[in-house]
Amino acid sequence: MTESYRELVQDISGKLREFAKEIPETQQGFMQIAKATHGDGALSKKQKELMAMSIAIAARCQGCIGFHAQACVKLGVTRAEFMEMLQVAVYMGGGPSVMTGAEALLAYEEFGGEKAPV
C-alpha cells in the first residue's frame, strides 16, 4: 500500500504528462476513451465512477484507486454509496478485494470523502 494516495496521484500525473509528450497518440487515444465515458447518459457520472472504482479494487490497481477516489469525492459520493460499491467489489473480487477495498476507503477519506461516525 502507498503511504499517500495524494502523492501517488500527483506522481502518476507527472508520468502521464510524460506519456503525452513521448507517446502522444497513445495518450490521446486513452483520453478520448475517458472523455467519451465520463459524461452523464443512461448512467450518471457518479454511477460510472463507482463502477470504475469497483473495477480498480478488483484489479488491485493502486493508481486507479487514487484517481477514482479523488473523482468520487469531487462527484459527491456519500460514504453509504461508497460502502455499497465496496460490497460489489468484494463480491466480484473475493478476499483480496477486502484488503484492496480497505485501501480504497483510506484513499476516499484521504481525499476528503464523507466520514461517518463508526
Is residue 115 included in any domain, yes or no? no
Q: Is this model's pTM higher than 0.85 or not?
A: yes
What is the CATH number for 97? 1.20.1290.10
Determine, yes or no, domain membership for 81.
yes
Tell whether 94 is covered by a domain. yes
Q: Is residue 116 in some structural domain?
A: no
- What is the distance between the alpha carbons of residues 91 and 109, in angstroms, rounded to a whole number? 22
State the average pLDDT over residues 80-93. Answer: 96
Cα 9 to Cα 23: distance, rounded to the nearest angstrom: 20
**pLDDT tens figures, 5-58:** 999 999 999 999 999 999 999 999 999 999 999 889 999 999 999 999 999 999
Which of 40-44, 77-81, 111-115 shows the lowest per-residue confidence on average (mean pLDDT)?
A: 111-115
- Give domain status of residue 99, yes or no: yes
Within a domain: residue 118?
no
For residue 68, what are the domain limits? 5-110
On whether residue 117 sits in a domain, the answer given is no
pLDDT at 2: 65
**Model confidence at 115: pLDDT above 90:** no
pLDDT of 116 > 80? The answer is no
Query: Looking at the 3D structure of the chain, how many domains does it have?
Result: 1
- What is the model's pLDDT at position 29? 96
Class of residue 82 by CB neighbours under 10 A (exposed 0-12, middle 13-18, buried 19+): buried
